[in-house]
Amino acid sequence: MRYFLEIAYKGTQYNGWQIQKNGHTVQGELNRCLSTILRQEIEITGSGRTDTGVHATAQVAHFDYDGELNPDRDAFRFNSFLPEDIAVKAIRPVHSEAHARFDADRRSYEYHVVQHKDPFNDHQAHHHRSALDVEAMNNAAHHLLGRQDFESFSKVHTDVNNFFCDISRAEWKHEGQRLVFHISANRFLRNMVRAIVGTLLDIGAGKSAPDSLPAVIAARNRSAAGKSVPAHGLYLTEVRYPASVYLNE
């Protein structure tokens, strides 16, 4: 049987999602835990990697198990075995061809900013000290919407065929003590959200002109955009699939 696993993790103590020979990774921890508990070699495949220090409230991964799981009971067993900073939120049976990476039709991220010193932050939000014009940041973010070439916000050496992404949401909201950027798209390039947020913060802080974003996109050149913001403000918050991947539960 093939299953989707929905997972939350705090990325601070991990060298990112993807398994490495000599690194402590979320994928590595999950493979180890599932293989031990299910007494067979389990290899999970994520919807995509997250970088060192990046968090997830709802990463999705698939795996095959030669047997049948009891979603609630087994999620509880996995959670008892996994470290405190990784939690399994759900296990769902899917069709045998369902693929966590290739079938995802929308991904969402949040970037969390705090503007005051917060002793309880614990690497869970980026502390940005200067005043921010959130309205200007939202006006600029509006230019990100739709299908466009986002090479200006991509890591320079990357192996993708094209830089087109279709962004369906891009907005800043005040949420409690935090200022949160919400962004959704069919796909994201490596480092893209952090480069976009850095560019928008420059606009909010008055370091770049409020109307500069269209020219930054049009440049198709990483050096036209702002600096990447730190990993610890970034959260993968949703990976959406067509309903047809799931088995009737």
| Residues forming the site for its own copies (CB under 8 A) | 8-10, 55, 79, 84-87, 116-122, 124
Residue closer to its own copies by CB (options 30, 196) is 30
Minimum CB separation of residue 95 from its own copies in Å reads 29
Minimum CB separation of residue 111 from its own copies in Å reads 15
Q: CA–CA distance from 206 to each of 108, 133, 183, 200, 209 (Å)? A: 27, 8, 22, 10, 7
d(CA 4, CA 60): 7
d(CA 24, CA 17): 9
Whether 80 contacts 28, CB under 8 Å: no
Is 109 annotated as belonging to a binding site? yes
Minimum CB separation of residue 84 from its own copies in Å reads 7
Residue closer to its own copies by CB (options 78, 172) is 78
Residue closer to its own copies by CB (options 119, 146) is 119
Residue closer to its own copies by CB (options 10, 194) is 10
DSSP assignment of 172-235, as one string?
A: EEEETTEEEEEEEES---TTHHHHHHHHHHHHHTTSS-TT-HHHHHHHT-GGGS-PPPPGGGEE
Minimum CB separation of residue 87 from its own copies in Å reads 4
d(CA 230, CA 149): 24
Q: Which residue in this structure is represented by tokens 């103590």? A: 13
In this structure, the number of other CB atoms found within 10 A of the CB of residue 245 comes to 19
Minimum CB separation of residue 55 from its own copies in Å reads 7
Determine the residue type at 201: L
**103 is a catalytic site residue:** no
d(CA 134, CA 221): 25
Residue closer to its own copies by CB (options 102, 120) is 120
Whether 229 contacts 107, CB under 8 Å: no
Would you list which residues are annotated within the binding site?
Answer: 109
Which residues have a catalytic role annotated? 51
Would you list which residues are annotated within the binding site for substrate?
Answer: 109
